[in-house]
Structure 1
Amino acid sequence: MKTDLLPIVTSLLIPGTADGTAVVWAKRLLTATIVFALFWLFAQLVRHLLERFGTKFSAFTKTDLDDRLLKRITPSITLLLSTLGCYIALSTLPLQERFFKVLSGVLFVALVVICAVIIYRVVDELLSRYLDRLQHQEEVISRSMMPLVRKLATIVLCGASLIIILKKFNYDILSLLTALGIGSLAIGLAAKDTLAQMISGFILLIDRPFRIGDRIRLAGGQVGDVVDIGMRSTKIQGLDTTVMIIPNSDLCNATVVNMVRPTAVIQGRITLGIGYDSDVERAKELLLEIARNNAGVLEEPAPVAQFTSFGDSALNLLLLFWVADPTRLGAVTDQLNCAILRKFRDSGVAIPYPTRTVHLQQLDLSS
């Protein structure tokens, strides 16, 4: 019974064996074995070269990115070359067309998957390197963004791999792309606000008008420190320790003043008035002296004292000074105000307050 089935199975897999062409099959099998062996040896040689000389070459670079890439993609490259050798060796065998299509299709899918894994590992290492560089520069990026980027990269690679595989098996890709386009349009219309916030979040991270830790002033006049840039919104801690949650699209479309970049130097202003009988030049000298003696005021740019206008009851003066840290502006202003008040009192410079003089006229009622 077994003797009767063997020729039937062999004839199904190998055309021509029933007619006595086993010698041709043996030669093809030997050729396929040699092809696979050559590719396998070449894969081992490439792995050996990458592990030995690639490591030595990467030692001359300042970054460890190349070391991490070699460590992650070397096994996949070896597997890729071995699978490619098996795919080419299979094409030399005189198999039935249907059986050959099945085996070659399986190996082709394996090749596409291995290539996608290599690309994903490279992208993953580049993203990890980017995040490490931001952390090294004390510019912490939102933790919720990196997983999203990795998921998007995975989706793109899976989609591209699926299209390549379907194209190999002569499936209609146009209908699939049309269905995906219609589905994406429906999802986009249903979640357009959420997608707008996410896209705006990516724009903020790429354009980087401000970074986490920066102090910014919003279009409405609110001042606060950026504590997080998320997928949908940005969190800003105000000076009163409250947290403002602002949609990313509002920040992208509004005027935002970054108070610490490109330089953290911020200008402070103190406006005050002195009496009309006071010496203006003496008052200006006192203001400059007070500002220069304060450790929080920068020497360059130097503080400036100006006589700005004539008020109803005082001569208005303006003191301009610069502070290196925006968070210190309030404290430095408080110190200067207290010093100005003491100095002006000791120097006899009057700081008037609005007064009104009322003249009463007596009327002659006898007439």
Structure 2
Amino acid sequence: MYFAPTMPPFLDLIIPLVSGYLAPILILVLFIALGFIFKFLMESYLMHLAKKTETPVDDIFIASFGRPITYLFIIAGVSIALQLMPIPWEIKKIIIPAVFVLAVIIIAHAVTKFFIGVFRYYSYRNESLKGVAPLVQRMFQFLIYFLALIFIFDFFGVSITPLLTTLGIAGIAVAFALQETLSNLFAGIYIMADRPIRVGDFVRLESGDEGYVEDISWRSTRIRLLSDDLIIIPNSKLANSVLHNYSLPSKRSAIIVPVGVSYGSDLAKVEDITLKVARDIMAKFGVEGEPLLRYKEFGESSINFIVRIPVPSYPEHYKIVHEFIKELHTTYAREGIEIPFPQRVVWMKRGE
């Protein structure tokens, strides 16, 4: 008599369970292994090749996308495994969208990190981009994550047309309400990018105020006067004004000192003595260069000329001119050279 073998009751439950979950688990393990293999290749082989190139863009790309691609392999494995697993659809409806959202966030983060890294590298090499780099990076980061949000809304079937319409209308309203603020913002970006002035420059404003540029922000520029007072100028006004930057193209400058001597003076002697005094003052302050004297005009009371004296920087001209005028006055008095007062000769015709 033949008896058919029977399986224990617990195997009747385990075998279908194992057969239903084994393939998804193997797929998940395969994708995890592929992710770590890809990470290993990028960090060893591809990074080694990237270091041999002159541009750092490939290094930034590997640093930005190496680990996120590994995560994407794992997420892809989880997504496929969930599709194959014999679990209720209600659970899948919750997990699969969450996996998609996580994948979009990882991709957005990697793209943002890559482009910010590239922009940061070139901004450090380009003086005109240093000032605007933080602002541009934040704007680009906002744009990438905003696009990621649109992809997520589209995945869930949410129509983005009303949202974009609402944002457009709101943007117009905000633009009108913040017109002056936005004007200052874009003027600040222009100043930071074009760099007509830089922090530390010595400038003269249209009002005649002179001082050092202490800070350039997105809204205003701060200038520290020689009196130690602080002037705060909206960027929109500064961008549309005419200003004199004494620090460009270099800090080295020259100052013009007007002088006048009497008509009875020996002009050759005046020139020699004046230039000697200028050279002595320049040597006293360690200034390199050569002074220049040019006779300018026959004035009402004197023969007028100018003395051009090189200075290391414009703010230093105050003390140099101060010493020059004192020494020149003393030397002229000693040499008998007259600096005349304004005078007018009047001829009176006597009546007959």
TM range (shorter): 0.7 to 0.9
Match of 2:168 in 1: 181
C-alpha separation in 2, matches of 1:183 and 1:224: 41
For 1:328-343, list aligned pairs within 5 A.
328-343=316-331
Query: Aligned with 1:350: secondary structure?
Result: coil
Match of 2:308 in 1: 320
**Is residue 74 of structure 2 the alignment partner of residue 82 of structure 1?**
yes
C-alpha separation in 2, matches of 1:358 and 1:162: 89
**Is residue 150 of structure 2 the alignment partner of residue 163 of structure 1?**
yes
Identity %: 27
Aligned partner of 2:177 among 190, 199, 214: 190
Match of 1:17 in 2: none
Question: CA offset at residue 228 of structure 1?
Answer: 0.7
**Is residue 68 of structure 2 the alignment partner of residue 111 of structure 1?**
no
C-alpha separation in 2, matches of 1:104 and 1:306: 85
Which amino acid is the alignment partner of residue 235 of structure 2?
N
For 1:83-232, list aligned pairs within 5 A.
83-91=75-83, 100=92, 102-122=94-114, 125=117, 146=134, 151-232=138-219
C-alpha separation in 1, matches of 2:139 and 2:167: 15
Change (3 A) 1:253 1:232: same
Change (3 A) 1:298 1:40: same
Aligned residues: 334
Query: Aligned with 1:171: secondary structure?
Result: coil
C-alpha separation in 2, matches of 1:88 and 1:206: 49
Question: CA offset at residue 246 of structure 1?
Answer: 0.3
Q: In 2, are the aligned partners of 1:297 and 1:322 still within 8 Å (CA)?
A: no
Gap regions ≥5 residues in structure 1: 1-21
Question: CA offset at residue 270 of structure 1?
Answer: 0.7
Match of 2:267 in 1: 280
Match of 1:305 in 2: 293
Query: Aligned with 1:353: secondary structure?
Result: coil
TM-score normalised according to structure 1 size: 0.76
Q: In 1, are the aligned partners of 2:64 and 2:111 still within 8 Å (CA)?
A: no
Query: Aligned with 1:246: secondary structure?
Result: strand
C-alpha separation in 2, matches of 1:152 and 1:347: 69
Match of 1:46 in 2: 38
Gap regions ≥5 residues in structure 2: 1-15
C-alpha separation in 1, matches of 2:229 and 2:61: 44
Which amino acid is the alignment partner of residue 39 of structure 1?
F
- RMSD over aligned Cα atoms: 3.7
C-alpha separation in 2, matches of 1:132 and 1:247: 26
Question: CA offset at residue 82 of structure 1?
Answer: 1.3
Query: Aligned with 2:340: secondary structure?
Result: coil
